[in-house]
Amino acid sequence: MFVQQFNRKPRWITAAPGRVNLIGEHTDYTGGFVLPFTIDRDCYVIAAPGEIAGMSRIFAADMGTAEVGAAHGELWLADIRKGLYPLVGGKPPSGFARGSWKSYVGGAIDRTRELTTKAGGKALANVDMVIASDVPAGGGLASSAALEIALAMWVQATSGVELAPWDVIKACREAEHSFAGVPCGVMDQAVVTLAQENHAIMMRCREPYKPVQVPMPASDKLAILVVNSNVRHALAAGEYASRVEACKQLETLLGALYLSDVDLASVENRRSEISEDQFNIATHVMEENTRVHAAVDCLKRGDLCGLGQLLTRSHDSLRDFYRVSCQELDAIVATAITHSGVFGARMVGGGFGGCAIVLCMPEVVESVSRTLRDMYRAKFSRDCSMTRVNPAGGAAVIVK
């Protein structure tokens, strides 16, 4: 794609994977526990020094298809050396519509460049770049973190400075807050950066973080299917922010720095002061944290049935208490868990559409897939798509 677009060979290639969160959903921004792993789907940044004086050209290929020439957007920058994105009061300039792919590109480059400059790295020069990803955008698989971290790897490669991983993780999360307008937690950027092949990361989402690598079952024992509902409900962004806000309000009310520090008994004691919605939100967060620990125990014991049940309970809680599921995801989970050989299933990521994961025995992958495909078509008159994924490693510079 790069050669087609720019008629020469690239100089740098970096890649960062998407992720599946096994369990621990909507807990990261409450200082809670998560258990994500990266998958063998990546966002690539392919670049070379810019050819046109005073101009950078960044093309984003159509996410998902990665067909040659399927560029669906381009970002022409006046002059990367003269301040790429002049920030107005810490905010992105008006040209970057919040949440568009450009705001992610602008934010990640800007915030990482700030760090490499402080560390004495080479100034960024103009660049010609192609971005191509097979992490489905908006699918709950952290396509945005993959994009941000792949860009951050490129900024480091081109500036000649290697930053501390947690500085990059925090810079990219901050970019997502201020440029893309999503008040996300730190889970996605952290796992995309720190993951090791065949491991999930168990982490408490607050200083000092202390991520622990937890071995995942071998692929002949466990198949992990990602089922994309191919729907994204318009309320997703606003609803995500409103859940974050609800947790902050609860923290203030309960006098806790992190909602995840509070136990359910203390919330019950204040039952009369909080609404039913708030009570349900607190219940989800607290029980989900407990499920993360139980899931790690199951992984250690090789108890896949126990693990699956925890996932299904997590889904029920996200549907009923946290209310971030949707009927398409509920139907996928309900159908999957009645199929023989399935250990459990749940929605992943922010919710309101996107993907569900199904844990099953490798022998039943085909028949579960067929059953889900038929159910989905019959019920929603559209197709869901599915793919088996494997726990992969973290972001990398492939060509320096």
The residues carrying an active-site annotation are 188
| Token code pair at residue 384 | 């869901």
Task: Please tell me whether residue 28 binds ligand GLA under the rule CB under 6 A.
Answer: yes
Task: Please tell me whether residue 148 binds ligand GLA under the rule CB under 6 A.
Answer: no
Distance CA 286, CA 32 (A): 8
At closest approach, how far in Å is the CB of 173 from ligand GLA? 8
Binding segment toward ligand GLA, per CB under 6 A, in 72-80, 179-187, 339-347, 363-371: 179-187
Q: Which is nearer to ligand GLA, 39 or 187 (CB)?
A: 187
Contact pick of 136, 185, 353, 391 for ligand GLA (by CB under 6 A): 185
At closest approach, how far in Å is the CB of 307 from ligand GLA? 18
Is the separation of the CB atoms in 167 and 117 below 8 Å? no
At closest approach, how far in Å is the CB of 76 from ligand GLA? 28
Distance CA 343, CA 368 (A): 12
At closest approach, how far in Å is the CB of 207 from ligand GLA? 16
What is the C-alpha end-to-end distance of the chain, expressed in Å? 18
**What binding mask, one character per residue, do residues 341-380 give for ligand GLA by CB under 6 A, x or -?**
--------xx------------------------------
CB atoms within 10 A of CB 144: 28
Give Cβ neighbours of residue 25 (< 8 Å, ≥ 6 apart).
Answer: 34, 288, 314, 318, 322, 346, 347, 348, 349, 351
Q: Which is nearer to ligand GLA, 2 or 101 (CB)?
A: 101
Q: Identify each DSSP E strand in the chain by its residue range.
A: 12-21, 33-34, 36-49, 56-61, 71-77, 127-133, 199-204, 212-215, 223-232, 342-347, 353-360, 385-389, 391-392, 396-399
| Token code pair at residue 139 | 């699918």
Q: Which is nearer to ligand GLA, 140 or 344 (CB)?
A: 140
Task: Please tell me whether residue 43 binds ligand GLA under the rule CB under 6 A.
Answer: no
Q: What sign has the CA pseudo-torsion 175, 181, 184, 187?
A: negative
Task: Please tell me whether residue 104 binds ligand GLA under the rule CB under 6 A.
Answer: no
Binding segment toward ligand GLA, per CB under 6 A, in 90-98, 180-188, 248-256, 265-273: 180-188
Amino acid 375 reads: M
Residues of the shown chain interacting with ligand GLA in the complex, contacts defined by CB under 6 A: 21, 25-26, 28-29, 142, 184-185, 187-188, 349-350
